[in-house]
Structures are given as C-alpha cells and as structure tokens.
Amino acid sequence: MRVLWVLLLCLAAFELRAEQVIAGLSQNRVSLTVNFEGSDILIYGAVRREAALPEGSDLAVIVTVEGPPQPAVIWRKARRFGIWVNTDAQEVRAAPSFYAVATTRPLRDILSAEADLTHRISTRLAIFEARGSVDRADPAAFTEALIRIRERAGLYQSRDGAVDLERDTLFSTRILLPKNIVEGTYSARIFLLRDGDVIDEYETFIDVRKAVLERWLTNLAYEQPFLYGLLALGLAVFFGWGASALFRLMRS
C-alpha cells in the first residue's frame, strides 16, 4: 500500500512538471556609472513540454523583477493649527527597493488569491509589514501609499499585457530599471500558470553594482569623509586653476 502511494505521488509530480519554463536575460550585470540613465532588460524564454498541450485552459506567464529589500517608515500628515505635520506612522519591515510585474493578461484574471499568497507575486504581497499599532483602523492604507509613491518614482511597475506569448511556447518582455535604483542583487522570476495556479517557476539574478571609480568614491565618502573633503577641495582648486589658465591662454 505504501509503495502505491509513493507511485501516485511520483505520477502527480510528473504531471505538475509536464510544462517547464526555460528563460534567459539579455544581460545579468548592470553597472551604475555617473551618467547611468537606466537599463532595459530583455527577459525571454520558452515552455518545454513532455506531453501534448492541455485542453480547456489557457497558459499565462508572469514575470517579476525584485530589488534588494529595505525597511521603510510611511508617515501620514494631518492639518494641525493651519500647518501640515506628521501625525501617524507605519513601519514596513522589508519593502523591495524595486519591483516590476509584467503579465500576459491582467493579473487579477490569471492569478488566484491562493497562488498569490503562496508565491507573493503581486506588489502588495511582496511587501512585509511590521504593524506598529494593533488598533490602527487602516494599516493597509500606509502600504498602498508607499506603492503609490514608488510608482510615481518608477520604482514599482505593474504592466498588464506586457509579456508577449506566441503559440503558448515562446514569451518575451522588457523591464526598465530606472536611473534611481540601488545596487545589489535583483531576482527575476518567471511563473507559468493555468487556471490561476502556478505550474512552474524559474528564477535568475541580475547583479547591479557601482562601477569601480564610483564605488571607490562612495566608500571614501562614508569611511574617510575628511580625506574625501580634501580630495574634493583639491579637485576644485585644480580645475579652477586649469580653467583660469586656459582662459588667459585663449586671450593672449
């Protein structure tokens, strides 16, 4: 009897893996330089099948790109004695510094609530809250405010219909990393779905780092601020003298 149960579980696992996603990135390393204006990442792939296409359900693809998580505090302002002041706050334990969701169709039409809870795909569920007050009436309003603020900055993106899917096999989409991203390891996840459930998942990573000179200057500014100040002053004097000398040369 036990052997029969093992065989049934193996068959069920095989059926769940009957469709697998294979994906790649146009680049997996981004350098943050002084003149960095953003980076366009192409995410593409295909669906590998061990059996014929299932009938009666449509294939959907979701692509997410998530930046390093950071804590945050969201403040609510209220008018007091004619001026606007901070009156209430909500702590967010870990919010992605960048989060993009691209789909083949509207997210609400292809992703069930249960699958979203399991895989934390939607922007709202990607944020981990730390409730500071259990009696607060609307703690979710603070998280929604954080999402709106970062959407306006281009750091949170919801792109329904941005994934192109051809013949239920080939897919591709583009994710724009804006110029105000932070350095760190970004995860790119690709989900295959049928009837609202995730049937396979693939994950890869994008390494976002400052260039050598930028990293050296940043470390110097934080670790040796006095030396950084002297360097900045020396460069200012040098370029000021150089510009003056060039101007005198041009007049002579």
115-152 pLDDT, tens per residue? 999 999 999 999 886 554 445 556 677 888 889 999 99
- Tokens in use for 173? 């989409």
Question: Cα separation of 45 and 112, whole Å?
Answer: 23
Question: Which runs of E-coded beta strand occur in the chain?
Answer: 19-25, 29-32, 39-49, 59-66, 69-80, 83-96, 99-103, 128-130, 156-159, 164-166, 170-177, 184-194, 197-210
Average model confidence (pLDDT) for the chain? 81
What is the value of pTM for the model shown?
0.74
pLDDT digits (tens, 9 = 90+) for 146-202: 899 999 999 999 999 999 999 889 999 999 999 999 999 999 999 999 999 999 999
The sign of the torsion formed by the CA atoms of 24, 25, 27, 29 equals negative
Q: Which residue has the tokens 């500071």?
A: 132
Which alpha helices (H) appear in 198-224, and where do they start and end?
Answer: 212-223
